[in-house]
Amino acid sequence: MTEISDKTALRSLDETTSEHNARIMAHVDALGELAEMIDTADADIFARHFQAECEFISTQLLPHIDAVEASIYRELDRLMEKRHSMAPMREEHERLRRLFASLCGYRTAVERGVFDKSDAIGLRRVLYRLYSLLKVHMAEEEMYLQVIRSDLTPEQKDVLARGIDHAAAEPV
């Protein structure tokens, strides 16, 4: 752990990103499991799991995405002199935001506890798309973090770690 001037403990960038990625991946995996539960799980159990994932997305994942764009992506653009723009990763974030909005559109059907065929197909499609896009996106972000790890000073890494950790009321 690194100490900052006001004696508040600060986790390193590696500690922060490792913990965040592990917690995010647990929820990503839950999206695939949730898709498998459609039409097979008890409606109340499914609704609880669905609500938990929607809550995570809105209170933790979306603020994390915003923080990554504002800190990590901005720094990567600078380091790579915009030769390898982060635009494709930002576009994926926009696709994720649209998929999150689509997921929320199924809340009424989930609360009802009964899906018609089109709701079940549509919800399953959104969940699998979120699952697959997040899996690939997280792997790509890990590759980009290697650039940060090798090209920044410890102090610069600490600034980025604070920016990511501060994104949500609780760390992701």
| Residue ranges of domains in the chain | 10-165
Through-space distance between the first and last CA atoms of the chain, rounded to whole angstroms: 18
pLDDT digits (tens), the chain, 172 positions: 333 333 334 677 788 788 888 899 999 999 999 999 998 999 999 999 999 999 999 999 999 999 899 888 888 888 888 677 899 999 999 999 999 999 999 998 899 888 889 999 999 999 999 999 999 999 999 888 888 888 888 888 788 877 777 554 444 4
Rounded distance, CA 60 to CA 35, Å?
A: 21
Question: Are the C-beta atoms of 136 and 67 separated by less than 8 Å?
Answer: no
Rounded distance, CA 33 to CA 13, Å?
A: 30
Return the number of other C-beta atoms located less than 10 Å from residue 105's C-beta.
Answer: 13
Collapse the DSSP code of 15 into the 3-class scheme (helix H, G, I; strand E, B; otherwise coil) and give the result. Answer: helix
Q: What is the CATH number of domain 10-165?
A: 1.20.120
Q: What phi and psi values does residue 102 have, to the nearest 5 degrees?
A: -65, -40
Threshold 0.85, pTM exceeds: no
Instruction: Return the residue matching tokens 């799980």.
Output: 41
